[in-house]
Amino acid sequence: MKKYLIFLSLFYFVQQSLSQNTIVLTATRDLSIAYHDNYPTENTNYEGAFQTAGFVIPGYQGGINSNRGLIDFDLSDIPSGSTITSAKLNLYALGPGVITTTDLSNGHVGQNSSYLRRITSNWNANTATWNNAPSYTTSNQVTLAQSTSASQDYLDIDVAALVQDMIDNPTQSFGFWLGLVNEQLPTRALLFASLDYGDSTKFPTLEVTYQCSPMTVSLTATRDLSIAYHDNYPTENTNYEGAEQTASFVIPGYQGGINSNRGLLDFDLSDIPSNSTIIDAKLDLYALGPGVITTTDLSYGHIGENSSYLRRITSNWNVNTATWNNAPSYTNINQVTLPQSTSPTQDYLDINVTALVQDMIDNPNQSFGFWLGLIDEQLPTRALLFASLDHGIPSKYPKLDVTYQCKDLIGINDRYEDNPVHIYPNPTSGLVILELEKINTNKCMLSILDFSGKLISRENLSNGQSKYVVDLSSYSNGMYFIQVGSTDFSYTSKVIKM
């Protein structure tokens, strides 16, 4: 059952307003863990129990029978560094008649105020028990007030501080721990439906609104290389790994003609989330300076009318095998022009490569660093000479500072070039038709949310049925979101009810 429901965590609504995003998540796993005095259950795993609960009742053979709950959500779609502006947890009462034990048969009972705490170590829903239960922290714990009825749902529980802690400490955050404030008799219980209860309308849900805070990373190049070509001198297949320069130049060749050089340099951008907007990206290249290259034409450093291009490299390359002849491809889209140098030792600092880095983040499979080359690769001598990683002075290594912010995620539909769901009419006065001919509706879920992202209804779709009718006639006029999701995809569409 739990494996089947993993897709629900990915099946979310996203809305952006004033740089804020809202996602609605369904729990990915939950579990009851139990201990009985005089009855060996502390090592028993209760995967499959209908309840996620905090309770204490008389034990089977004296003493007490205690229960706690574990609930987890997949927060990986919330970028690190985000500010949580709101987080509301919904837990739905199990209700009477589900648990047959007399003390719990009516639902919530007794002085059952409970704590929600952040779980700080990982756990397995198929093996966790009372004895090997994960650790937790009381920091920012939330108190659930005593129930007012046996079937009370606990909706919109404010867990913003807990979720902020989870985002700030992802390696020490593994969901919510639920337990009674007082775990002593007499009988007291707070009983919520688990994922194994089977009624999707009672699954634990979490609605999180977050604001992406700008983040800055400072990077040093991970690889760079000079590639060269000499007329009348066979170097076009030579790899120059180890050269002290990353440069663009043209000088007279050894045996006539020209000697041309271009540069390749790359940075590891993997820490920047794929859904980021690049606010600013500045590249620093440091002059090689005089005396490093002994060739007469280049011995003083930058020289001549040496304005150059920086371009995005679009195919991969190996620093140990790349040459002029097998050099990677590049694109001139959003290329940057480096102006002619004003001195032989000029450092080029704060080069604005924002658009280029945005292209790299948006097209990671076609982005492998920066290509450097002269605008004019003809004689007379001209050269722009920068220190490479092999120059050996870390203060002169190429550096890149990137400030980014996560993008608006509203365009869920854009994930699919050929949309698997067609929804019409839109706008509608009430009835909306969903055509699902391109998907297998087995294990698909249909959800309707209002404009704020609040879940209105949710139901399983029947396998093999290619057309559904959704009735919005009883709802107020306005904008709604219809979602269809499975293990293979999620699809969201706006619908206007008039």
Residue 239 has pLDDT above 70, yes or no: yes
pTM, 2 dp: 0.56
Q: Residue 72: what residue type?
A: D
Please tell me whether residue 392 adopts helix, strand or coil conformation.
coil
**What does the block give as tokens for 482?**
């219809």
Cα atoms in the 13 Å half-sphere on the side-chain side of 220: 10
Band of residue 441 on the pLDDT scale cut at 50, 70, 90: low
Q: What is the mean pLDDT of the chain?
A: 88
Q: Are 249 and 261 in contact (CB under 8 A)?
A: yes
Predicted local distance difference test score (pLDDT) of residue 3 = 33
pLDDT at 431: 86
Q: Is the pLDDT at 66 greater than 90, yes or no?
A: yes
Q: How far apart are the first and last CA of the chain?
A: 39
Buried b (16+ CB within 10 A) or exposed e, 174-186: bbbbbbbeebeee
**Measured between alpha carbons, how far is 411 from 493 in angstroms, rounded to an integer?**
9
Q: Give tens-digit pLDDT for 252-310.
A: 998 889 999 999 999 999 988 887 888 899 999 999 989 999 888 999 999 999 999 99
The reply to whether CATH 2.60.40.3080 applies to domain 412-497 is yes
Give, as one character, the DSSP assignment of residue 267: -
Can you tell me the distance from the alpha carbon of 434 to that of 464, in angstroms, rounded to the nearest whole number?
13
pLDDT tens column, 353-404:
999 999 999 999 999 999 999 999 999 999 999 999 999 999 999 999 999 8
The pLDDT of residue 335 is: 97
Question: In the chain, where are the structural domains located?
Answer: 4-213, 217-406, 412-497
How far is it, in rounded angstroms, from Cα 95 to Cα 112? 15
